Structure 1
Amino acid sequence: MSISLRQQEKNVLYNIMEERHSVKHYESNYKISKAELEEMLTAAITAPSAWNLQHWRFLVIEDQKKQEELLPIAYYQQQIVDASAVVAVLGDLEANKEAEGVYQEAVKKGFMSEEIKNTLVDQINGAYKRGGSFARDAAFLNASLAAMQFMLAAKSKGYDTCPIGGFKQQEFINKFHVPDRFTPIMLITVGKAAKDAYPSSRKALDKVVTYNSFQR
């Protein structure tokens, strides 16, 4: 690949990141096909994850009646029913249970030995057995990586999104029968914007970046 082509691809990526904003007003009659939704979700699941456990799960709510059921749970935010779909991002609280399958596949493909696989699986199970907030923190951190990739993938296809953290989590779990193993991280509305996002600004880089240590 030539340097100029690489630079062009880099510019496209940067433009997508710069153009992505949280849109709250959608064309209510616009529908995104299942094929397109799955293209975006396929991009989302290429995100990195600790130990490659892939802590994310997605509940795609694209049935209008289900979106209406979600509306009061999300404090009657109109975007919930106007968006083409709402993607609920869930985090796996028992992601260690995936380790055996993930690494056995790696052994099968010759990426690692059985001995290394067993060592890694033991390490992962040991980390999860420590308890505390480890499993929940890992679920939130890793699922959020996939959530961001979904939003960027949507923007690259000409759609807009809005991540929502304000919703009644327990009611959501009950209404949509979320298994105990998974915890809701966020809702993401996705659709065709009917109105531009509200203007926003970002802090200057020197306000958010520190090099090497906070101690001077």
Structure 2
Amino acid sequence: MNIKHLIESRISVNRFDTSRALSDADISELVRLATLAPSAYNFQNWKFIAVRTPQAKERLKEVAFGQQKVADAPVTFIIVGTLDAHAGLPQALKPSVDAGIMPQTVADVWVGMARHTHPGNPQLQRDEALRSASLAAMTMMLAAEGMGLASSAMSGFNASGVKREFNLGEGDVPVMLLSIGYAAAGNWPQKLRKPLREVMEFA
């Protein structure tokens, strides 16, 4: 399917087929594709926790206001944005430098710029964490569609509870939950959107 069709056919699923599982290879492929999303400076300031065992699902469901799809979907990802991304930027850029994609001089400039603007600016760090994790989550949703799967993104969860239950650190920001699996019968079709005239303007 082409990308236009994937976007037009995607729905937010509340009912998952509990009889169909996802393999570790499928789960890993979803994460691999998600990591191809863009991020400022190529920070890659994200982490993905694949919640798939019954015990882990129950712990997550408890801090996700009892949403049943957390238990029913084969996997629910905790999409995490990370703070202090500037500290790891040299390591994040090194593979691109080693591959000849980016000159070391450019990488050094990027590292210098990030180290100038990000330390001591928690709002900027948080904004970048939210942006990067959200871009990765949307990329994962489209990847799921392309693999014949369905997804449901959730903002309904207790962030401090998620951090406690899944041992996240101070620099980890739970951005959203993303359940992925096979859709069961009874889901709504894609809900209608506002007309372009209400949301678009030319400048």
Secondary structure of the corresponding residue to residue 195 of structure 1? coil
Tell me whether 1:210 sits opposite 2:162 in the alignment.
Answer: no
Tell me whether 1:122 sits opposite 2:122 in the alignment.
Answer: no
CA distance in 1, matches of 2:103, 2:60: 46
CA distance in 2, matches of 1:175, 1:102: 28
Shift of 1:211: 1.3
Secondary structure of the corresponding residue to residue 184 of structure 1? strand
Superposition map of 1:25-174 within 5 A: 25-174=15-164
Q: Provide runs of 4+ in structure 1 moved above 2 Å.
A: 102-119, 195-199
Which sections of structure 1, spanning at least 5 residues, go unmatched? 1-8
Paired letter, 2:93: Y
CA distance in 2, matches of 1:103, 1:194: 42
Shift of 1:161: 0.4
TM-score by length of 1: 0.88
For residues 24-60 of structure 1, the C-alpha deviation after alignment (integer angstroms, 9 at most, x for no partner) is 1111232100101111221111111111111121000
Classify 1:65/1:29 alpha carbon distance in 2 versus 1 (closer, same or farther; 3 Å).
farther
Paired letter, 1:62: R
CA distance in 2, matches of 1:210, 1:196: 37
Counterpart of 1:6 in structure 2 is none
CA distance in 1, matches of 2:51, 2:122: 32
Secondary structure of the corresponding residue to residue 192 of structure 2? coil
Shift of 1:19: 0.9
TM-score by length of 2: 0.93
CA distance in 2, matches of 1:18, 1:111: 34
CA distance in 2, matches of 1:66, 1:102: 30
CA distance in 1, matches of 2:37, 2:102: 21
Shift of 1:102: 2.5
For residues 138-197 of structure 1, the C-alpha deviation after alignment (integer angstroms, 9 at most, x for no partner) is 000111111001011111111110000010000110011011121000000111111243
Paired letter, 1:147: A
Bigger Rg, structure 1 or 2: 1
What percent identity do the matched residue pairs reach? Answer: 29
CA distance in 2, matches of 1:104, 1:28: 42
Give 1:188's match in structure 2, choosing from 165, 168, 178: 178
RMSD over aligned Cα, in angstroms? 1.5
Classify 1:33/1:97 alpha carbon distance in 2 versus 1 (closer, same or farther; 3 Å).
same
Q: How many residues align?
A: 202
For residues 98-157 of structure 1, the C-alpha deviation after alignment (integer angstroms, 9 at most, x for no partner) is 211123333333334443332221110111124141000000011111100101111111
Secondary structure of the corresponding residue to residue 118 of structure 2? helix
